[in-house]
Amino acid sequence: MAVDEAILIHHSKGDVPPTIRFYGWDPPAVSTGYFQDLQREIDLDACRRLGVGWVRRVTGGRAILHDQEVTYSVVASEDEFLVSGSVLQSYLKISRCLLEGLRILGINATMSTGRKSDHSSAACFDAPSRYELVVDNRKLIGSAQTRKYGCILQHGSIPIHLNVDKLFSVLKFTNEKLRERLQRDFARKAISLSEAGGRSYGYGEVVRALSRGFAGTFKIVLEEGTLTEEEEETARILMRDKYGTEKWNFDRKSS
């Protein structure tokens, strides 16, 4: 999360170009949406017991367990024509790239029309939003977006495997029957790459396919890069003063 925001800050200053980033999580962690109450939604004792970290995102949405997945992030100026427009319009443009990447992996996904849901679970993959990608009406990629400093940051979770038991172990519920019912519902509404494709996928294979999806759909040449020293320093500061603090993670008024 700190690195994504560091890229956003430095792109807004003109220091770095528009950036597509892919990364994983080790150890796993649960992230909550900007407006969620982390202490209310997440069982921190269970997280400690299972070796799962936690962090509040700068983007909205609901809780995601980041474990055995590829996470993507896109940072660009709001007037960058490849992703410009309203939130939904930029969602659509990025989803087309992800859709092509999935096609390369042999996965026949479609875009959700964004049916209404009661959002009874705190988990992100409980129901798809408009233009999120689904397979057989089961959500495969969950994304969220924010706009700051005249720029767009959109990031999303692409599970290679789904550990539903672990996810529902770190979420809080008022009683065990509710947990069990919502866990069964979730398992019917969410899907992983491996289940969707009927085979195992490696992290590198997924990243290469998604990169080709962005390059082919946007008709651009991607240049592999690393963080600048300035981005790394900003990320360290953000981790120390923001994402690693109780004030940010536990106080919804903190911005």
- Read out DSSP for 124-147? GGGSPPTT-EEETTEEEEEEEEEE
pLDDT of 130 reads 80
pLDDT of 118 reads 47
206 closest CA partner among 27, 22, 29, 3: 22
Can you give the length of the chain in residues? 255
Sheet of 53-56: strand order equals 53-56, 29-32, 64-66
What span, in angstroms and rounded, lies between the C-alpha atoms of 121 and 168? 10
* Local structure of 204: helix, strand or coil: helix
What's the structural domain count of the chain?
A: 1
pTM, to two decimals: 0.91
Q: What H or E segment, with its residue span, contains residue 153? A: strand 151-159
Report the catalytic residues: 124
Q: Is-contact 20 72, C-beta < 8 A?
A: yes
Question: Which pair of tokens denotes residue 205?
Answer: 């294979």
CATH number at residue 30: 3.30.930.10
For residue 44, being part of any structural domain is answered with yes
Residues of the chain with pLDDT under 50: 116-119, 124-125
Q: Is-contact 50 164, C-beta < 8 A?
A: no
Which range marks the domain in which residue 115 is found?
2-232
pLDDT of 59 reads 95
For residue 141, being part of any structural domain is answered with yes
54: exposed, middle or buried (Cβ count in 10 Å: 0-12, 13-18, 19+): buried
Sheet of 138-148: strand order equals 19-23, 69-77, 151-159, 138-148, 133-135, 110-111
Question: Which pair of tokens denotes residue 159?
Answer: 């599970």
- Residue 22, phi then psi, degrees to nearest 5: -120, 140
158 closest CA partner among 117, 109, 86, 116: 109
pLDDT of 27 reads 96
Long-range contacts of 105-114 (CB under 8 A, 24+ apart): 105/193, 105/197, 105/201, 105/205, 105/206, 105/209, 106/197, 107/135, 107/140, 107/193, 107/196, 107/197, 108/135, 109/133, 109/134, 109/135, 109/140, 109/196, 110/134, 110/135, 112/139
Tokens 């390059």 identify what position? 215
For residue 110, being part of any structural domain is answered with yes
For residue 128, being part of any structural domain is answered with yes
How far CA 85 is from CA of 4, 77, 132, 151, 220, in Å, comes to: 21, 11, 17, 12, 19
